[in-house]
């Protein structure tokens, strides 16, 4: 017979935190991770919350995961210029870091439009890296049933490396059915757009 134990939120958070740190996660790396597991569990996604805690601990103890790792992130200030030189500068540090540590992130601020994100993620995929790219945008579309612009057509891109410097898969898409640039071009031509 399975015995059910009910814990408070505080007790559950302590259990998660203690399990992670006991298995080798440093105190500095544990709080955010603990909160993520607890939040996932409380959101009703049990299969992704406490269920995985045992595996996280096993992977820490086996050495598959380094609980003391210090992730590296980069930020490049484009100084109000084009995004491309800033991205190129950042890639000079991002690529070696990703190859050394297995993961790296780059943030670019105060820049002009990054244009086609697929170019940037594709550049990384050609160097053997799995790449995700995201950017912000100003509100330009209304949500379904709405009339006020509150959502941007924020593009996102994913590129998967192939063999010998090739790209195996690349997607670059807008968050809307019709990207902002296509709306503008259609308006300039007086053309219709898809519903």
pLDDT exceeds cutoff 90 at 110: no
Query: For 22-77, what is each residue's pLDDT tens digit?
Result: 999 999 989 989 998 998 889 887 777 898 999 999 999 999 888 888 776 778 99
Q: Which of 46-55, 98-107, 154-163 has the lowest mean pLDDT?
A: 46-55
CA distance 124 to 96: 11
**Which 8-state DSSP code applies to residue 151?**
B
So what's the pLDDT on residue 43? 85
- Compute the CA torsion angle 108, 169, 180, 75 (nearest 10 deg): 0
So what's the pLDDT on residue 23? 96
Query: For 120-149, what is each residue's pLDDT tens digit?
Result: 999 999 999 999 999 888 888 888 889 998
Under the banding of pLDDT at 50, 70 and 90, the label for residue 97 is very high
Cα four-point dihedral sign 183, 189, 190, 195: negative
pLDDT exceeds cutoff 90 at 94: yes
Q: Could you tell me which of 111, 72, 106, 66 has the C-alpha nearest to residue 90?
A: 106
Q: Which of 13-17, 31-35, 82-86, 100-104 has the lowest mean pLDDT?
A: 82-86
Under the banding of pLDDT at 50, 70 and 90, the label for residue 195 is confident
Provide mean pLDDT across the span 73-88.
Answer: 84
Under the banding of pLDDT at 50, 70 and 90, the label for residue 100 is very high
Residue 105 makes CB contacts below 8 A (sequence gap 6+) with 71, 72, 73, 74, 94
CA–CA distance from 139 to each of 50, 116, 152, 176 (Å)? 37, 18, 4, 11
Q: Could you tell me which of 129, 137, 133, 128 has the C-alpha nearest to residue 158?
A: 133
């Amino acid at each position: 017979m399975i015995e059910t134990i009910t814990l408070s939120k505080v007790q559950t958070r302590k259990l998660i935190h203690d399990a992670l740190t006991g298995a080798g996660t440093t105190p500095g790396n544990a709080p955010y991770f603990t909160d993520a597991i607890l939040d996932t569990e409380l959101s009703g996604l049990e299969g992704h919350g406490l269920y995985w805690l045992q595996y996280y601990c096993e992977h820490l103890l086996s050495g598959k995961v380094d609980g003391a790792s210090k992730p590296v992130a980069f930020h490049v200030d484009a100084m109000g210029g084009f995004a491309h030189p800033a991205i190129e500068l950042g890639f000079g540090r991002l690529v070696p870091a990703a190859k050394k540590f297995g993961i790296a992130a780059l943030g670019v601020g105060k820049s002009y439009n990054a244009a086609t994100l697929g170019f940037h993620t594709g550049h990384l995929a050609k160097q053997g890296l799995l790449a995700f790219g995201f950017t912000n945008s100003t509100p330009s579309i209304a949500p379904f049933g709405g009339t006020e612009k509150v959502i941007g057509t924020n593009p996102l891109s994913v590129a998967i490396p192939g063999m010998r410097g090739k790209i195996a898969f690349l997607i670059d898409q807008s968050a809307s059915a019709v990207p902002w640039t296509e709306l503008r071009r259609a308006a300039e031509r007086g053309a219709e757009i898809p519903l």
